[in-house]
Amino acid sequence: MPAADKVKSSWADEVELDYGGLPPSTEVIENGHKYVTEYKFNNDDKKTKVLRTYKITKQVVPKVVARRKNLPKFGDSENDKPGPNSHTTMVSEDVYMQFLSAKDEEKSNENVLDPLKNIAKCRICNGDHWSVNCPYKGTAMDTSKLMENKAPATTTTVDSGSKTGKYVPPFMKDIQKAGGPGGRGRDDTSAIRISNLSESMTEADLEELVKKFGPHNKMYLARDKNTGLCKGFAYVHFKLRKDAAAAIELLNGHGYDHLILNVEWSKPQNN
């Protein structure tokens, strides 16, 4: 039978007969596509035919990039075709950069240029909000701030007699407390007592509260010895009695830190 005598050979056998080995690769460009045909051996030492299809597109690049693509190759890639060779060239991933315009920079600087946002400053966390609305109020951070402010408040003054190291008789101490020979005791005529204060009250807050009424000689904020928190009352000694009267008139019944203040004249100390 003539049909049985003809045995169809594979393309690999035909290639081996024609070229005696692997033929060179070919490239064909048609309809905006490039077809690349290559021949190589696989893992089983069998000839394989690889057909790759590329889509040709035009891309506008800077002149520097176009000039760099036309540079001649050298070294192991001197005889390579245009484009990277995977055996001698490693192509890294594309790096995309985002450039900010002038409008984006203005938006980022709005918080810095806006003066209204820097009015309030929290004494607990130094944030741009009032201390009353601080989320850390009553936490360990608030307590540590109070303990730091406790040091200057607990300093006590030493009498001039004790500074010299000399012995001062008890009756001389009473005279010094009374303001000297013939003097009277503590002057409470311009002293006021502020009560119903919150535990987070500090000397700085008390100073801010009463300084607008006039100058004062001294003030005392009662604190707990163990926790260092405010005990709820304080004393302020003004230089002028009219300033103390104005403070009582305006602060008594005034809302401060979610509490209603109670301000009255300080009762004289019994000798």
Nearest Cα neighbor of 189 from 232, 248, 233 is: 248
Residue 68: inside a domain, yes or no?
Answer: yes
Tell me whether residue 155 is in a domain. Answer: no
What is the predicted pLDDT for the residue at 31? 87
Residue 166: the pLDDT is 72
Q: How many domains are contained in the chain? A: 1
User: Which residues form the domain of 60?
Assistant: 2-77
- Side-chain-side CA neighbours of 155 within 13 Å: the count stands at 5
Burial class (CB in 10 A: 0-12, 13-18, 19+), 205: buried
- Whether 217 maps to a domain, the answer reads no
pLDDT at 128: 75
Q: How far apart (Å, rounded) are the C-alpha atoms in residues 124 and 143?
A: 9
Residue 191: enclosing H or E segment and its boundaries? strand 191-195
Is this prediction's pTM over 0.95? Answer: no
Q: Per-residue confidence of the chain (271 residues) as pLDDT tens digits?
A: 455 455 555 655 665 555 556 778 888 988 889 899 988 888 777 888 888 898 888 888 899 988 888 888 888 888 888 777 877 777 777 788 887 777 666 666 655 545 445 566 777 777 777 777 777 776 666 666 655 665 544 444 444 444 556 777 665 665 555 554 444 445 567 899 999 998 888 999 889 888 888 898 888 999 998 888 999 999 999 989 999 999 998 888 888 888 899 999 988 655 4
- For residue 162, the SS3 value is helix
Q: Residue 190 domain-assigned?
A: no
pLDDT of residue 138: 65
Q: 69 lies in a domain?
A: yes
pLDDT on residue 32: 85
* Structural domain includes residue 53: yes
pLDDT recorded at residue 160: 45
The 10 Å Cβ neighbour count of residue 244 is 24
Residue 192 has a pLDDT of 92
- pLDDT score at 195: 92
The secondary structure element, H or E, covering residue 267 is none
Q: Is residue 24 part of a domain?
A: yes
DSSP 11: H
Q: What integer pLDDT is reported at residue 235 of this predicted model? A: 92
Looking at the domain assignment, is residue 61 inside a domain? yes
Measured distance CA(233)–CA(220) in Å, rounded? 9
